[in-house]
Chain A
Amino acid sequence: GAVVSQHPSWVICKSGTSVKIECRSLDFQATTMFWYRQFPKQSLMLMATSNEGSKATYEQGVEKDKFLINHASLTLSTLTVTSAHPEDSSFYICSARRADRGASPLHFGNGTRLTVT
């Protein structure tokens, strides 16, 4: 089955620093990857859609200058949380869909738990 690898699984950083999260599709190509955030006991919230070779599309209320997304290849997308603050502490999850199947399911990475102190 399709595998999405996300790294790191967890990270603790100091306020004001930046953190980069990687999302890789291991056995398929993904023209589109999605970045979600989930706070405790809340539902998934789509932050942005990452498109290979073009700019990401951000959801309303998500600061594109704070959450930098780069999708440089068909198998890798990165999310950088810049100048992190404690309120950015959350569970960040990436997902990808196979490029050759429009209605294929999303496959999720294992998520990254970010704690900003």
Chain B
Amino acid sequence: GQNIDQPTEMTATEGAIVQINCTYQTSGFNGLFWYQQHAGEAPTFLSYNVLDGLEEKGRFSSFLSRSKGYSYLLLKELQMKDSASYLCAVLDSNYQLIWGAGTKLIIKP
């Protein structure tokens, strides 16, 4: 079956760095997405990785290793507004999006 694993919850301090991991086992691979979802709101697109390596976009970076079925989202200089759930999703061989359950990130002052 298809499976995506990410931690349920993480806590970090304002100004610090946090890494949210995601491992996946899917039928084929056409890319991995990270989304941010604030409570009561719809998800918003953060990043897309299809090749191995690190993609940097401001304070957020996303890394992919296809051979390991592994990705992480790195958030730097954490701000209180970064408190949200972060969703990892993989596009399988049929271009269907397989979702992880999300990681709730709590930022403390």
The residues of A with any CB-CB pair to B shorter than 8 Å are: 6, 34, 43-44, 46, 91, 93, 102-103, 105-111, 113
Closest to A49 in B: B96
Q: Which of B64-109 contact A (CB under 8 A)?
A: 87, 89, 91, 95, 97, 99-102
Q: Which of B40, B41, B45 lies in contact with A106, CB distance below 8 A?
A: B45
Q: Which of B42, B89, B95 lies in contact with A111, CB distance below 8 A?
A: B42
A44-B43 contact given A103-B30, A103-B91, A103-B95, CB 8 Å threshold? yes
Residues of B within 8 A of A93 (CB): 42-43
10 A-B pairs closest in CB distance: A108-B42, A111-B42, A43-B101, A105-B45, A93-B42, A103-B31, A103-B30, A110-B42, A108-B43, A43-B102
Residues of B within 8 A of A6 (CB): 42
Complex formed: what's the CA distance from A6 to B43 in Å?
A: 13
B50 interface residue (CB < 8 Å to A): yes
Residues of A within 8 A of B31 (CB): 103
Residues of A within 8 A of B60 (CB): none
Question: Judging by beta carbons under 8 Å apart, are A107 and B45 in contact?
Answer: yes
Question: Judging by beta carbons under 8 Å apart, are A102 and B44 in contact?
Answer: no
Complex formed: what's the CA distance from A23 to B99 in Å?
A: 21
Question: Judging by beta carbons under 8 Å apart, are B102 and A111 in contact?
Answer: no
Closest to A109 in B: B42
Residues of A within 8 A of B42 (CB): 6, 93, 108-111
B63 interface residue (CB < 8 Å to A): no
Q: Which of A44, A107, A109, A113 lies in contact with B99, CB distance below 8 A?
A: A44
B24 interface residue (CB < 8 Å to A): no
Question: Judging by beta carbons under 8 Å apart, are A103 and B97 in contact?
Answer: no
Question: Judging by beta carbons under 8 Å apart, are A91 and B95 in contact?
Answer: no
Residues of A within 8 A of B41 (CB): 110-111
Ordered by A's residue number, 12 sampled pairs between the chains whose C-beta atoms are within 8 Å are: A43-B99, A44-B87, A44-B99, A105-B33, A105-B45, A106-B45, A106-B89, A108-B42, A108-B43, A108-B44, A108-B45, A110-B42
Residues of B within 8 A of A111 (CB): 41-42
Residues of A within 8 A of B50 (CB): 103
